[in-house]
Amino acid sequence: MDQPRAPHIGRLIREGGRSFSFEFFPPKDEAGEAQLWQAIRDLEPYRPTFVSVTYGAGGSTRDTTVDIIGRIARETSMVPMGHLTCVGHTREELQLILDSFAGAGVSNVLALRGDPKEGPRAEWTPTEGGLTYASELVELAAGRFSVGVAAHPGGHPASDSLDLDVEVLRRKQAAGAEFAITDMVFRVSDYVGLVERAAEVGVTIPILPGIMPILNLGQVTRMGELSGHPVPDEVVERVKVHEGDPAAVRAEGITMAAELCEALLAAGAPGLHFYTLNRSKATREIFAALRITA
């Protein structure tokens, strides 16, 4: 039997003013699990609008994603959202996973296509009996769940044009998506450009910018790989001047992220979505700089 359902994120964003949310990923071992739950407990007092848990490549975290979002629903005051991707699953399997989300008391899903194991630029081949685009997963989940989708300010790495990207976002909205969350944003102009192009083709759902502070220089390349676009030069330059002084690099990264958050909200962003990497310290420091208290 389904557990009592958590509130719908689409409605919370529409009715609740600015949305603040935190993203976590399923840990690989016990130490990682302890770190995740410490971060969840540290961030709970900030009363986020929702928290989300990613879905690993190739369905590898299927059970842990369901376990964590179920535990968040049962043991915390926060509204959980499970990510789900089409990678390696048939339509029937996806339906069963959605059933397990509902059974765990989860009412919110981020419906994604996912990436081939060679990365986001590699050719995508759907699983036999599975789905081709995220919009089909939106259709499968809409009605029963409040459904969010991904948006790509710099363009999806495998997409031909920024115009196709916003058309894809419009299709996901037409299929029932109630909100979107972007890849990592580093410049306000990238976010505003996406929102303007999306509005031109009729996208009206709220688009939350994704925030990940640069905490060390080694992380910059990995961030580029994750989003499919290099971190802009002017952003890298600001931290690079502190090369050799890790504490100064970190402090500059936090300052830049806080400035970005302020500018995004001033530009009309309906909220902020933080990629926490299962740690709370950086997010708490950004909140302190924004004068948001627990």
User: Shortest approach of ligand FAD to residue 41 CB, angstroms?
Assistant: 22
CB-CB neighbours of 288 under 10 Å: 13
Alpha-carbon distance of 11 to 154, in angstroms, equals 27
Backbone angles phi, psi at 105, to 5 degrees: 85, 20
Q: Does 223 bind ligand FAD (CB under 6 A)?
A: no
Spatial contact of 91 and 129, defined as CB atoms under 8 Å apart? yes
55 close to 100: Cβ distance less than 8 angstroms:
no
Looking at the chain, how many residues does it have? 294
Contacting residue, 113, 170, 229, 250, with ligand FAD by CB under 6 A: 113
> Of 23, 139, 178, 285, which residue is the catalytic one?
23
Q: Which of 156, 170, 250, 284 binds ligand FAD (CB under 6 A)?
A: 156
C-alpha torsion sign, points 87, 88, 94, 98:
negative
Residue 201 contacts ligand FAD per CB under 6 A: no
Q: Single out the residue of 34, 96, 164, 267 in contact with ligand FAD (rule: CB under 6 A).
A: 164
Report residue 60: phi and psi, to 5°.
Answer: -65, -20
Cβ-based neighbour number of residue 142 at 10 Å: 17
| By the rule CB under 6 A, 278 interacts with ligand FAD | no
Give the binding range for ligand FAD (CB under 6 A) out of 9-17, 95-103, 178-186, 279-287. Answer: 178-186
Closest distance between ligand FAD and the C-beta of residue 11, in Å? 19
Q: Does 210 bind ligand FAD (CB under 6 A)?
A: yes
Query: Is 42 exposed, middle or buried, given 0-12, 13-18 or 19+ CB atoms closer than 10 A?
Result: middle
- Is 101 a binding residue for ligand FAD by CB under 6 A? The answer is no
- 112 binds ligand FAD per the rule CB under 6 A: yes
Separation between Cα atoms, residue 291 and residue 277, nearest integer Å: 22
Integer-rounded Cα radius of gyration of the chain = 18
Per CB under 6 A, the segment of 154-162, 194-202, 242-250, 284-292 that binds ligand FAD is: 154-162
Three-class SS state of 111: strand
Nearest distance from residue 182's CB to ligand FAD, in Å?
6
Q: Could you confirm whether 23 is annotated as catalytic?
A: yes
- Asked if 83 is part of the footprint of ligand FAD (rule: CB under 6 A), the reply reads yes
Single out the residue of 62, 115, 219, 269 in contact with ligand FAD (rule: CB under 6 A): 115
24: left (phi over 0), alpha (psi -120 to 50) or beta: beta
When the beta carbons of 57 and 217 are compared against ligand FAD, the nearer one is 57
Q: Which residues bind ligand FAD (CB under 6 A)?
A: 54-55, 57, 83, 85, 110, 112-115, 120, 133-135, 150, 156, 158-159, 164-165, 168, 171, 181-183, 210
Q: Which residues are catalytic?
A: 23
